Chains A and B, each alone.
Chain A
Amino acid sequence: MRKRVISFVVLSVALLIVLVELFPIMVVIVNGFKRDIDIWSKNPFYFKPTLRSYQLIFRHREFPRSLRNSFVVASLSALVSVSLGSMAAYGLSRFNFKFNDALIFILLMVRMIPQISLAVPFYMIFRSIGLNDNVLGLSLAHISFNLPYVVALLLPFFSSIPKEYEEAAKVDGCKTFQIFLKIFFPLASAGIVVAAVFAFLMSWNEFIYALVLTGTRAKTAPIVVNAFMGQYAPLWGQLSAAGTIMLLPVFAVTLSLQRYIIRGLSAGGIKG
């Protein structure tokens, strides 16, 4: 009996914490279905659902394209980072070169460089070689933080795979690259999927490089979400609707990859 009371009390406290914590997110979702005039009203609980904001943002001049840009940049940077990063993590965990430890150390260190420090040189370099306002250029900038991140995440995954597997494969006459593709890639597939998903998400949420390195053409969705603030009156409804759409991958990832979140976070943190 006493045990059940305690567990009920704990549940109610926990529920309260979660409700308070998720309140701002609920504000975003609800406001996406409100008219601007109702958001501006004094009574925050007045709610007459409408899809007006969603209709508006999909007919918006910039939002659909920026969403596409976001998707392309995030996929491209995740794909490149994961293919190069998994190869590097494999090499670093399997072969003993002279500078291995130093390389690992440096790669782990540089994954935490603040983006703003690189934004200035990136801007100058990209301007001089014409990569400014270019989806490809922005993807490159995103790879600069995603690649070291992927290596950091995958290193422990790869080191935990027993040496016997590759020895057996070698006896069967596999070349090194085949070993990597046929043995390691499938064995570490869980880690690789997690790395790809987190890399995608970091790129999806990224703001500084998008702000500094893109103009009208390569603009990504976070920039347009901010632009709904407008010069005169903020369009909160459309801002929230667009924000809700940006949150969909976030929901999907946090609720499905719960097991890997700690690993993903401690490998580098999520920051825009």
Chain B
Amino acid sequence: MFVLPALIVVGVILAYPVIYALVISFTDRELLYLGKTNFIGLKHYREMLLDRNFWHSLRLQFGVITIAIPIELIIGLFVAILFNRDFPFSKILRSLLMLPVFVLPVLSGLTWRLMLQPSYGVLASFFNFISLGPTAWLADTRYAYVAILLQDIWRMWPFMFMIIYAGLSSMPSEYVEAARIDGANFFQRFWYVLLPYLKPVIATAFLLRMIDALRIFSEVYVMTYGGPSNATMLLSLYIHKQAFEFGRLSYAASVAVFLLIVALFISYFVVKRGLRGEVE
């Protein structure tokens, strides 16, 4: 009785659109649709698998997971270790660090675009000064991708920091003390005590960020709109472009279904870990 209203709403605004997308993906419906909609089976899925741009987008998406997230993890881990002690102002500094995570992605993307403007951007002048990269980062196919990764790292490493910090501060201090008494140096304490203790926390954080990475859209949309020449065309931008620029709604729907399945697959593991954590 209590669950029913929520269930109905979820059914109408979540389950129905998902089924709708699935059904549409088997048809040839377009944005400017005049004639009859025809059932075409798996044709769109075949087209997707044969499209080089799709695989390119998938690779870029994979790059976010294998490059940006590990860097975020490493920065977050070391800053968490740094903060895991008493020093003045630590609490206020910690909450200040969380600000970027909540900054609207659009604003973050636009600000990075400003900072990377060739003639007056602060970051562009800095990179120029140390002769790193081209003058116009966002116009270069390789550096535009680096720029969106940097933006993501800047925004999301504090997320890793916060989760790891929470894990660290719940660790009994006897663990580290015991290791110290046994004569373990910093690296041994880090490798044999801290890391094993933090492993479940890190795994969950990593999985959460993996799903996040599938959802990156607005910051890249405003920074590069997938360009130059597809260099930053992540899957979500690919879907958006197919649907609303080329008007290929039904094809976009099939890629969307693919993305949905991948996201649900990862989130299955997140939920399973989470529930197990609550039972323990």
Chain A positions near chain B (C-beta within 8 angstroms): 7, 10-11, 13-15, 17-18, 21-22, 24-25, 27-28, 31, 39-42, 44, 80, 84-85, 87-88, 90-92, 95, 97, 103-105, 107-125, 140-141, 143-144, 147-148, 151, 156, 176, 180, 201, 204-205, 207-208, 211-212, 222, 225-226, 229, 234, 236, 239-240, 243, 246-247, 250-251, 253-255, 258, 261-262, 265-266, 269-272
What are the residues of chain B within 8 A of A208 when measuring CB–CB? 217-218, 236, 240
In contact, B163 and A207 (Cβ under 8 angstroms): no
Candidates B7, B93, B98, B259; contact of A15 at CB < 8 Å: B93
B interface, by DSSP: helix, strand, loop or mixed?
Answer: helix
- The answer to whether A207 and B162 have CB atoms under 8 Å apart is no
Select the residue from A156, A240, A261 with max chain B CB neighbours within 10 A: A261
Q: In the bound complex, do residue B218 and residue A207 qualify as a contact, i.e. CB atoms below 8 Å apart?
A: yes
Nearest 8 Cβ contacts at the A-B interface? A91-B2, A88-B6, A207-B218, A121-B17, A91-B3, A116-B236, A117-B256, A121-B20
Contact A269 B102 (CB under 8 A): no
Q: Are A120 and B243 in contact (CB under 8 A)?
A: yes
Count residues of chain B with CB under 8 A from any CB of chain A: 94
Q: From the candidates A44, A111, A271, name the one contacting B122 in the complex (CB within 8 A).
A: A44
* Complex contacts, B120 vs chain A, CB 8 Å: 39-42, 44
Known A10-B85, A44-B125, A112-B267; judge A147-B105 contact (CB<8 A). Answer: no
Q: Which residues of B contact A25 (CB under 8 A)?
A: 99-100, 103, 111
Binds A, one of B177-185, B192-200, B268-276: B268-276
User: Cβ of A266 and Cβ of B106 under 8 Å apart?
Assistant: no
Cβ of B10 to closest chain A Cβ, rounded Å: 6
Binds A, one of B38-46, B132-140, B208-216: B208-216
Tell me, rounded to whole Å, the shortest Cβ–Cβ distance linking B122 to chain A. Answer: 5
State whether A143 and B9 are in contact (beta carbons under 8 Å apart), knowing that A14-B93, A44-B120, A122-B17 are contacts in the complex.
Answer: yes
**In the complex, what distance in Å separates the CA atom of A90 from the CA atom of B5?**
12
A14–B10 touching, CB < 8 Å: no
B226 at the A interface (CB under 8 A) = no
Q: How far is the CA of A13 from the CA of B90 in the complex (A)?
A: 11
Contact status of A11 and B163, CB under 8 A, knowing A108-B274, A117-B256, A121-B18: no
A35 and B158 alpha carbons, distance in the complex (Å): 32
In Å, the complex CA distance between A116 and B260 comes to 9
**Contact assessment for A105 and B14 in the assembled complex, using a CB-CB cutoff below 8 Å:** no
Q: With A40-B120, A120-B249 in contact, do A269 and B212 touch (Cβ < 8 Å)?
A: yes
Q: Which of B60-116 contact A (CB under 8 A)?
A: 79, 82-83, 85-91, 93-108, 110-112, 114-115
